[in-house]
Amino acid sequence: MRRSLALAVAAALLALGACRDESRPGKLFAISGKLFVFNYRVATATYLVTLKPLGPVEDGQTAVASFEDPAGGQPIVVRQRIWPKLDKAVLESPPLRCVRKDHPYAVTIRIEGPDAAVRQEIETTITSNLDQEVLPDRPLVVGPVYTPNPELQGRPDGKLDVTNEAGCPGRG
């Protein structure tokens, strides 16, 4: 009798501890993916971070991402509403300049409730395995039917005399 009572108490404590751990504030989302997206066709590089909810999502939550600007200056801030019925939230920056290979760039993500109070903060870094100089200097195509960009006529590599890397830190 004592042994079964002790086992029941131990099981109840374990279950209570597990519930407390899962409902602990600050663990609402986890990063499920993070990378630089290089789109060669349109000559852009962007940050992309995917968040996975770890439990039910409160209606009205917002993710606010601050991405380090590879060109220097103030962080790039992106606000994205989090939809409760979706299985992930995707945060993408506007096009970037000056991305360098093997350089860790800082990213901070705040999850805000409908009242704008911070519910969770996530800090991470994203490192590119390519320099942005692999991209053409201008989009290779323009318009809805992918017309070749007339600025690049006779330049199949998409490189111009005035590169989009001019003025980047450590580059010229």
Name the β-bridge partners of 50: 33, 90
DSSP string, 89-117: EEEEPPP-S---BT-EEEEEEEEE-TTS-
Taking only the tens place, the pLDDT of each residue in 21-60 is 333 455 899 999 999 999 999 999 999 999 999 999 999 9
> Could you tell me what percentage of the chain is helix, strand and coil, using 3-state DSSP and rounding each to the nearest 5?
15, 35, 50
Predicted local distance difference test score (pLDDT) of residue 26: 52
For residues 163 and 118, give the distance between their C-alpha atoms in angstroms, rounded to a whole number. 41
Predicted local distance difference test score (pLDDT) of residue 163: 65
Q: How confident is the model at residue 4 (pLDDT cuts 50, 70, 90)?
A: very low
Q: Pairing mode, if any, of strands 118-127 and 76-81?
A: unpaired
Q: How confident is the model at residue 76 (pLDDT cuts 50, 70, 90)?
A: very high
Dihedral of alpha carbons 161, 164, 166, 170, sign: negative
Q: Average pLDDT over the chain, rounded to whole?
A: 85
**Separation in Å, CA 89 to CA 55, 81, 83, 110:** 13, 8, 8, 13
Number of H helices, E strands in the chain: 1, 9
Task: Name the CATH architecture for the domain at 25-132.
Answer: Sandwich (2.60)
Predicted local distance difference test score (pLDDT) of residue 155: 85
Q: What is the mean pLDDT of residues 142-169?
A: 82
Predicted local distance difference test score (pLDDT) of residue 165: 67
pLDDT for 16 beyond 50:
no
Q: How confident is the model at residue 161 (pLDDT cuts 50, 70, 90)?
A: confident
What is the token pair recorded at 74? 């103030």
For residues 94 and 48, give the distance between their C-alpha atoms in angstroms, rounded to a whole number. 10
pLDDT for 75 beyond 70:
yes
For residues 7 and 147, give the distance between their C-alpha atoms in angstroms, rounded to a whole number. 73
pLDDT for 162 beyond 90:
no
Looking at per-residue pLDDT, the higher value among 123 and 167 belongs to 123
